[in-house]
Amino acid sequence: MEIRSLKYFVAVATQESFRKAAANLHISQSALSQQIAKLEKRAGGQLLLRNAKQTTVTDLGKMLLPQAKKIIAEANYTHQIIQQAAVGQAGSLRLSFVYSAAFSVLPSVVASIQEILPDVELDFVEAITDTQIKKIHEGEFDLAIVRENFPSSDLLHIPLLMEPLMLVIHKDNPLADKSSVYMSDLAQESIMISPRESAMGLYDQVSSLCHRGGFQLRPSLTAVQFPTLVGLVAAQRGVTILPSSMSVLQVPKVEYIPIEDEGTISTLSLIVRRDRINRPGLQGIIAKLSNT
């Protein structure tokens, strides 16, 4: 299959419109339709269903779409490497990270990258862990900083930081007078947390801690961003449990208290696809971060 045809297919599937895709690709709709028809013939079935209002992706198309994105990303990456070798430029590197990494490991990771590749152009993207892993698999990100270690045979995980979880609580709460707490102390508290779909590792870890503390996690409120949770604590809407690096968010009347239970360690890791670890530039970065 031609890369061009795959690019055309991804454009239509993503935008759900031949007209919009053709305009963005700067080709005519008829030429785009011809290319898609050729691709469908090679694929052995219909990839897109087109009507007057919308274009939808067939089941066969849904199977091809992630692979097409991966192939296009690989082709772009290879082209970039060839250009770098030809003109001696460092090119760009796509680094994604979870929000909380910005307060802890992100500066050191960026410093290491710039030391190894001083002329690299870094593209930064903040994203939740699930999204990062998906886009690492598809080749859209080169490196990603994720929270918790999700085993995958085709991904290399480099632990960057192991930090304890802490209770975030309003200073007027009686528990705020304690130097540390146990999860069992929180059985009657309104616990707020990020929704599982945006922070699966942290959610499951807190849920497990609650279970071992003798009660079930039933979030009173959910919020995607950690600063929002801290703000809600300040508003006395409940308590939350966050990685200790988030204690840099010093909000009036909010206290951060250590949790004594076992199993409170949260890990930030750098991930990269194993089939890329020997590529120019990435080797040195991986070696340096593996030894820090």
What pLDDT digit, counting tens, does each position of 230-255 carry?
999 999 999 999 999 999 999 999 99
pLDDT tens digits for range 58-112: 999 899 999 999 888 888 877 666 555 443 345 678 899 998 898 899 999 999 8
Asked whether residue 51 carries a pLDDT value surpassing 50, the answer given is: yes
Kindly tell me the sign of the dihedral angle through the C-alpha atoms of 49, 37, 78, 154: positive
Task: Give the pLDDT band (50/70/90) at residue 219.
Answer: very high
Its pTM stands at 0.67
- What CA–CA distances, in Å, run from 120 to 92, 114, 214, 269? 5, 7, 51, 22
Q: Considering only residues 2 and 105, tell me which one the structure prediction assigns the higher pLDDT.
A: 105
What backbone phi and psi angles, to 5 degrees, belong to 238?
155, -165
At residue 209's C-alpha, the angle toward residues 204 and 213, to 5°, is 145
At residue 158's C-alpha, the angle toward residues 157 and 160, to 5°, is 135
How many whole angstroms separate alpha carbon 235 and alpha carbon 230?
A: 9
Compute the mean pLDDT over every residue in the chain, rounded to the nearest whole number.
88
- What CA–CA distances, in Å, run from 129 to 100, 197, 201, 206, 270? 11, 10, 9, 16, 11
Asked whether residue 178 carries a pLDDT value surpassing 80, the answer given is: yes
The answer to whether residues 194 and 183 touch, using CB atoms and an 8 Å cutoff, is no
How many whole angstroms separate alpha carbon 249 and alpha carbon 255?
A: 10
Q: Which helix (H) or strand (E) holds 42?
A: helix 29-43
Report the candidate in 32, 29, 5, 11 with the shortest Cα–Cα distance to residue 19.
29
**Domains, the chain, with CATH or none:** 3-83 (1.10.10.10), 86-160+267-290 (3.40.190.10), 162-266 (3.40.190.10)
pLDDT of residue 291: 76
